[in-house]
Amino acid sequence: MAELSTNRPLLAEELQEKDYSGKTPLLPSLSKWVLKSLIWALFLTWAAAIFFYASEFVKDLQKKWINLTEGTVFGITGSIFLAFSAPILVVAFLAFIYVAAFSGDNFKKKNLKSLWFRLWTFPVLVDGPFGVVSAAEFFGILLFVIYVIWTITAYTLETSSLISKFPLPPKGKWYLMLELTGLRFGSIGLFCMIFLFLPVARGSILLRLIDIPFEHATRYHVWLGHLTMIIFTLHGLCYMISWSLQHRFKQEMLDWKDIGVANLPGVISLIAGLLMWVTSLHPVRKNYFELFFYTHQLYVIFVVFLALHVGDFIFSIAAGAIFLFILDRFVRFCQSRTKVDIVSAACRPCGTVELILSKPPNLRYNALSFIFLQVRELSWLQWHPFSVSSSPLDGKYHLSVLIKVLGTWTSKLRDIISNFTENPGKITASVEGPYGHESPYHLMYENLILVAGGIGVSPFLAILSDILHRISEGKPCLPKNILVVWAVKKSKELSLLSAVDFQMSWHSFSDKLHLDIQSYVTQESEPSLEEGKVDGSMKSPSIFITNGSSMSCLVGTGNNIWAGIYVVVSTLGFIILFGMVEVYYIQRFNIYAWWYRGLLFILCMVAGVVVFGGVVVFLWHKLENRSSSYEECPFDDEKSSGRRKEQTADNETTKTDLASFQTIQYGYRPDFRAIFDSFSEQIGRTDVGVIVCGPPSLQSSVARECRSQNLRGRRNNSVFHFNSHSFDL
């Protein structure tokens, strides 16, 4: 590897002018600090109340709070909702204000030296059931384990003390102990449900606030799903064992009482949860993905019958998080109704399909974003995630994805495109997203190592394109030394570097960026004739399809103002509807059945989003369409882009594509110890961003090496920050 550049960061003067050094005007800085402090204070207070809910202190506070507030229109349901659901909704409102006002600071304020940042990028566990776990994630797992242990211990001591006061025979005490223990497990599971639904909202403002993309948050949902279902299963087992021992199992299982907890809805909810849980286990999910996907739609049954099981005031404990999920789900549904133009589609000889989708010019995303794609000719229900392979600077009106043909769905898509010229048909595409990091974190590092396995190189093509565009256009961009390590099984996959048709005038910015691409062909011992390159004759012709419109801007990183209005109006609509139902129906007609009140409560939640929020979404969508219609037409953009290319061709005589920067080794796997040592020796002691996109085994290998390098503590050793970009439902 040639000697790497260690000059000062690109455009350092411009970044300093934009306060990259951290010096900001006093009033905006103070406002940002106050708002962030308020958000964290509210969130930590809410989380502490949940964590210590089993303590006598919090129980006494809750009793005082209920006595103080239950006299309102909303009664005890409103009191509990205000205590446990309202805080997370208020945090969401404040998060919209924060992101709208200060999201532009994300790029210029990132501090690689901060402890918080290093906790997120330092891998602690690299093997085992959790996969690669950072120090921050390990701390979160530890907190949940402590919470469960502490709560179970506190409840067990309380239950034992309570039972000792009752003059019951030993068997009676044993039955009561089982049922009270089951009750406590149900309480713990309900609190776990709050955190279960927070990370599964794809466009969640809370995830954007802390810059955790949905692709990472799904892991937390999986972990919490296992924990929640274990607790709910124990909850049900305790009751069922007690009922069986008392010979009233069937009677209790079918019981649906009006006053108190209704058992049968709880049984239905638990069965739905167990079906989701079993089919989400890794062996089932990996081999029978469609079974997992369709069964997971039972979450509607799970939530609705849970509300029927416990009633409105108990359900209101977890209602805030579920309401945020309903908000996200409805706006995703609205976005997915739009038919999206496929500008072009082509099958590549390396076994991939390239789709170029039409997008409006005001759609925001970054080079590490991903979308969910549906093709209705293949399935009306299946949505598949794909990393974006284009930079937002590649074009105002286009977004591209590279799709590896691996399963039934992708094989059918390839067949449709391959046979399109002979048998013209229709491809109706719909898109959700883009989703991803709020800030383009690949631009935060001066030194980057990008590790890809197979089609995992797709987002890195977007990164390279983004960086090269930024350098050529003079935009803020820190990366100066980039090493790409790419492992593939067959040499034909190497043609991806040429298939993207990305050409550049290298000598115009070779002094600003050092790029090295090391490719490893693991299942071939010698090069093929093409050596991973393809010419135009080897590519299938692109087809052009027009049957819809551009992507919608309703989801992902859409307009923060409209998104905030949508959340506020939907929440107010829910509160107004619930208040009206409480005054004019429940109290007027003396509705006392717990399960029915729970059903009315959840119907008010849905109606608040669909009716009140639907009006905002309709206006938002109309405004986005109108603003897009005033933009320059795509054809003019294409022509101007073509003129720029012609001018570049006139001025620059040497053109080089990405394939010319790669060195290829056959029959070997990457030796990450040697690669990282060599890179560290040449750049010295500095921060290195490592981004991995590939199978779990590759992520574990790279994470293990990052951890090893950082723990060595050698004087001139670099600090490697591990980041994963792999999506695994």
Closest CA to 566 of 314, 205, 286, 227: 205
CA distance 325 to 232: 21
In whole angstroms, how far apart are CA 151 and each of 8, 53, 65, 131, 191?
Answer: 53, 8, 22, 27, 11
* Domain ranges, residue 206: 123-246
Q: Is the CB of residue 194 less than 8 Å from the CB of residue 228?
A: no
| Residue 159 maps to a domain | yes
| Residue 327 maps to a domain | no
Per-residue b/e over 215-226, b at no fewer than 16 CB within 10 Å? bbbbbbbbbbbe
Q: Read off the pLDDT of residues 13-70 as tens digits, 9 standing for 90 and up.
A: 333 334 444 455 778 788 888 999 999 999 999 999 999 999 999 999 999 999 888 8
Examine the domain organization and report whether 412 and 516 are in the same domain.
yes
| Residue 305 maps to a domain | no
Examine the domain organization and report whether 358 and 230 are in the same domain.
no
CA distance 264 to 243: 14
First and final C-alpha spacing in the chain: 37
SS3 373: strand
**pLDDT over 60 at 5, yes or no:** no
| Residue 615 maps to a domain | no
Torsion angle of the four alpha carbons 13, 18, 20, 25, in this order, in degrees rounded to the nearest 10: 130
Examine the domain organization and report whether 240 and 369 are in the same domain.
no
Examine the domain organization and report whether 385 and 494 are in the same domain.
yes
Segment 175-182 long-range contacts (CB within 8 Å, at least 24 positions apart): 175/242, 175/245, 175/246, 178/238, 178/239, 178/241, 178/242, 178/245, 179/238, 179/239, 179/242, 181/155, 181/156, 181/238, 182/234, 182/235, 182/236, 182/237, 182/238, 182/239, 182/242
Q: Read off the pLDDT of residues 156-207 as tens digits, 9 standing for 90 and up.
A: 999 888 888 888 788 888 989 999 999 999 999 999 999 999 998 888 888 8
Examine the domain organization and report whether 544 and 427 are in the same domain.
yes
The total domain count for the chain is 2
| Residue 73 maps to a domain | no
Examine the domain organization and report whether 236 and 354 are in the same domain.
no
| Residue 352 maps to a domain | yes
More confident residue, 535 or 447: 447
CATH of the domain at 488: 3.40.50.80
pLDDT-based confidence at residue 111 (cuts at 50, 70, 90): low
CA distance 429 to 386: 14
Domain boundary among 211, 246, 281: 246
More confident residue, 650 or 129: 129
Q: From the centroid of its chain, how far is CA 666?
A: 36
Q: Read off the pLDDT of residues 118-145 as tens digits, 9 standing for 90 and up.
A: 888 899 998 878 889 999 999 999 999 9
Q: Is the CB of residue 243 less than 8 Å from the CB of residue 289?
A: no
| Residue 294 maps to a domain | no
| Residue 513 maps to a domain | yes
**pLDDT over 60 at 239, yes or no:** yes
Examine the domain organization and report whether 383 and 521 are in the same domain.
yes
Domain boundary among 193, 222, 246: 246
Q: From the centroid of its chain, how far is CA 499?
A: 29
Examine the domain organization and report whether 223 and 355 are in the same domain.
no
Q: Is the CB of residue 502 less than 8 Å from the CB of residue 463?
A: no
Domain boundary among 182, 212, 246: 246
Q: Taking the CB of residue 460, how many other CB atoms lie within 10 A of it?
A: 26
Examine the domain organization and report whether 365 and 474 are in the same domain.
yes
**pLDDT over 90 at 305, yes or no:** yes
**The token pair that represents 19 in the structure block:** 């306060």
Give the pLDDT confidence score for residue 640 in this predicted structure.
38
Q: How many CA atoms lie within 13 A of 674 on its CB side?
A: 6
DSSP per position, 606-653: HHIIIIIIHHHHHHHHHHHHHHHHTSPPHHHHHHHHHHHHHHHHHH--
CA distance 405 to 7: 42
Q: Read off the pLDDT of residues 161-173 as tens digits, 9 standing for 90 and up.
A: 888 888 878 888 8
Residue with structure tokens 């205000």? 82
Examine the domain organization and report whether 500 and 352 are in the same domain.
yes
Q: Read off the pLDDT of residues 685-704 as tens digits, 9 standing for 90 and up.
A: 888 999 999 888 899 999 99
